[in-house]
Amino acid sequence: MTGRIIFGIFAGLAGGFATGAGFVAFLTVLGVIPRLTQLTKTMKMIHYYEGAIIAGVVAGTWFGLQETEFFLPPFLLIPIGLADGVFNGMLAAALTEVLNVFPVLSKRIGIQEKIIYLLMALVLGKIAGSLFQWIYFVDM
């Protein structure tokens, strides 16, 4: 029994370290945060971005481990969901810009002159998928 507990602790810590290292490598090596501050012209506030990421990761980890439930009224969930969507969208946009995903993809499939259609298909697909999830799975 003690061996199982020690193995569980070791596996949990190893998984946490691996995930944390991957997240830090993603943000650091790809330069997502500096590029985001450059695009938004808020280079002076880079320390706030870093602090917000650290606070968000720590708070998310804490709430995830405590199985905390927030009972918020639906009108407060809308701005929270919008902020979450903006964050994820900005992070994905920064990643694709850093890696030049869309130009490479459009060149490979032969639609260089119609890249706007590729972007619109991705945007509309994301919107449709999000709406489907909200309408079908969220009970309000």
Q: What is the pLDDT along the chain (140 residues), one digit of tens a residue?
A: 788 888 888 888 888 777 777 777 777 766 777 877 888 888 898 889 888 888 888 888 788 778 778 788 888 888 988 888 888 887 777 766 666 767 777 777 777 777 788 778 878 888 888 888 888 887 76
Q: Is 94 exposed, middle or buried (0-12, 13-18, 19+ CB in 10 A)?
A: buried
The CA distance from 39 to 94, in Å, is 9
Domain ranges of the chain: 1-69, 72-109, 113-139
